[in-house]
Amino acid sequence: MTALDTPQPASAPESTPVVPNADPASVPVPARPFSRRTRPVGFFDLPLEQLEERIVALGGERYRAKQLWTWAYGKLVPGYDAMTNVPAALRDRLATDLPFGSMRLVREFMADDGETVKLLYQTVDGQFVETVLMLYPDRATVCVSCQVGCAVGCAFCATGLGGLTRNLTAGEIVQQTVDAARRAREMGRALTNLVMMGMGEPMQNYAETMAFIGIINDHQGLNFGARRITISTSGIVPRIDALAKEPYQVNLAVSLHAPNDELRSRLVPVNNRWPIAELLAACDRYIAATGRRISFEYALMSGINDSDEIAHELGRLLRGRLCHVNVIPFNPVEVLKFERPTTAGIDRFADILRAEGIPTTVRYSRGLDIAAACGQLRAKHEEEQAHLAEMSVAS
């Protein structure tokens, strides 16, 4: 029996809250997640033209929309109150009709000597969402979430454990980005890169993901360059083809994790639907259509997908493609039994790939001490909330 068959508890990493929730028990019990029909629309959901229309409908002048965008995306102010050249009456109307940043920050964690900041939000319907800001000497990267949970259910991923609760809206993803840009600025840095590698599968929330990219890419607003954005997917083939036709020059990362179908289907269940040959054919079409290099992500797990033989097999599989492999040493997840290989084992795997002619980098995860594997912070927080609720019932 392997770790794939029997998830077993492992020891939990310690977390270090620096902005503890003032009263965690006051957080409302999650309501019913809202649907496409019932979801509220907020400021960050709207492209500029739609904001203009909304403002005119509220009795304001069209040009106010650009003023609001300059405050929100240029000056990165945290709310309407700071927009001093906008009439107070309009700001009041907007605050009621078009909430600015619908998600509430409930916790903030720091790790890696302050170089990693993890934000935990609560949505208006009571869901928890994670965002991570990572500072490097030459860049500052935000890792955003695009869903609450995930329907794909990869065997090694904390996010997929409970299935999909709901898609995030474009506005909820924009808010994560703007807050991270503001936080980076407060630390004297500029946000330079964005990866969709938090909770969720962007290609299964495609419309909102594209709307999100359209908003942050707009040169009249945040002007976040598409080439600085990376979408990561578990391999939803029709959406890889769709992405190739989009006007945005974003980067694509494909979570491969195994060089053969037998192993990949056990790790990444969508492989049963789109096996490796189909996935790589879509990647080839994508490379041919865009001329852009693909990154293959490879979560390295001891005794699962890290043997020399598998490294050679992966090298043979990818040889000749315009690609790059990102080896991600497995990030421990509480209830899962997988283990990270030793540093020597990780280096050996990467060296074999390089010897096979595949450009390879090893990406050590940030914030291991704050449970930064995708979905872990949310899981931990929900557990704490449930525990608090139990205690209050018992008392």
| Active site (catalytic) residues | 130, 374
From 270, 244, 259, select the one nearest 300 (Cα to Cα).
Answer: 259
The site partner of 197 among ligand SF4, ligand SAH, none (C-beta below 5 to 8 Å per kind) is: ligand SAH
Using CB under 6 A as the binding rule, the residues of this chain from 92 to 111 that contact ligand SAH are: none
Contacts with ligand SAH by CB under 6 A: the residue count is 17
- Closest separation in Å from C-beta 314 to ligand SF4: 18
Among 153, 162, 214, 275, indicate the residue that binds ligand SF4 (CB under 6 A).
153
Using CB under 6 A as the binding rule, the residues of this chain from 318 to 337 that contact ligand SAH are: 328, 330-331, 333
Pick between residue 45 and residue 297 the one whose CB is nearest to ligand SAH. 297
Contacts with ligand SF4 by CB under 6 A: the residue count is 12
The site partner of 328 among ligand SF4, ligand SAH, none (C-beta below 5 to 8 Å per kind) is: ligand SAH
The site partner of 160 among ligand SAH, ligand SF4, none (C-beta below 5 to 8 Å per kind) is: ligand SF4
Pick between residue 101 and residue 200 the one whose CB is nearest to ligand SF4. 200
- Closest separation in Å from C-beta 297 to ligand SAH: 4
Round to whole Å and give the CA distance between 384 and 212.
31
The Cβ of residue 360 has, within 10 Å, a number of other Cβ atoms equal to 23
- Asked if 267 touches ligand SF4 (CB under 6 A), the answer is no
- Asked if 155 touches ligand SF4 (CB under 6 A), the answer is no
Round to whole Å and give the CA distance between 234 and 254.
6
Spell out, one character per residue from 201 to 230, where the chain touches ligand SAH: x when CB under 6 A holds, - when not.
x-----------------------------
The site partner of 130 among ligand SAH, ligand SF4, none (C-beta below 5 to 8 Å per kind) is: none
Round to whole Å and give the CA distance between 390 and 395.
9
- Closest separation in Å from C-beta 146 to ligand SAH: 8
- Asked if 155 touches ligand SAH (CB under 6 A), the answer is no
Pick between residue 51 and residue 280 the one whose CB is nearest to ligand SAH. 280
Using CB under 6 A as the binding rule, the residues of this chain from 185 to 204 that contact ligand SF4 are: 200-201
The Cβ of residue 162 has, within 10 Å, a number of other Cβ atoms equal to 15
- Asked if 233 touches ligand SAH (CB under 6 A), the answer is yes
Listed ranges 66-74, 88-96, 147-155, 309-317: which one lies at the site for ligand SF4 (CB under 6 A): 147-155
- Asked if 150 touches ligand SF4 (CB under 6 A), the answer is yes
- Asked if 306 touches ligand SAH (CB under 6 A), the answer is no
Structure tokens that stand for 125 in this block: 């319907």
Pick between residue 272 and residue 342 the one whose CB is nearest to ligand SF4. 272
Among 110, 132, 157, 173, indicate the residue that binds ligand SAH (CB under 6 A).
157
SS (H, E, C) the chain: CCCCCCCCCCCCCCCCECCCCCCHHHCCCCCCCCCCCCCCCCHHHCCHHHHHHHHHHCCCCCCHHHHHHHHHHHCCCCCHHHCCCCCHHHHHHHHHHCCCCCCEEEEEEEEHHHCEEEEEEECCCCCEEEEEEEECCCCEEEECCCEEECCCCCCCCCHHHHCEEEECCHHHHHHHHHHHHHHHHHCCCCCCEEEECCCCCHHHCHHHHHHHHHHHHCCCCCCCCHHHEEEEECCCHHHHHHHHHCCCCCEEEEECCCCCHHHHHHHCHHHHCCCHHHHHHHHHHHHHHHCCCEEEEEEECCCCCCCHHHHHHHHHHHCCCCEEEEEEECCCCCCCCCCCCCHHHHHHHHHHHHHCCCCEEECCCCCHHHCCCCCHHHHHHHHHHHHHHHHHHHC
- Asked if 232 touches ligand SAH (CB under 6 A), the answer is yes
The site partner of 271 among ligand SAH, ligand SF4, none (C-beta below 5 to 8 Å per kind) is: none
Residues engaged in binding ligand SF4 (CB under 6 A) = 150, 152-154, 157, 159-160, 200-201, 234, 255, 374
Residues engaged in binding ligand SAH (CB under 6 A) = 154, 156-157, 197, 201, 232-234, 255, 297, 299, 328, 330-331, 333, 373-374
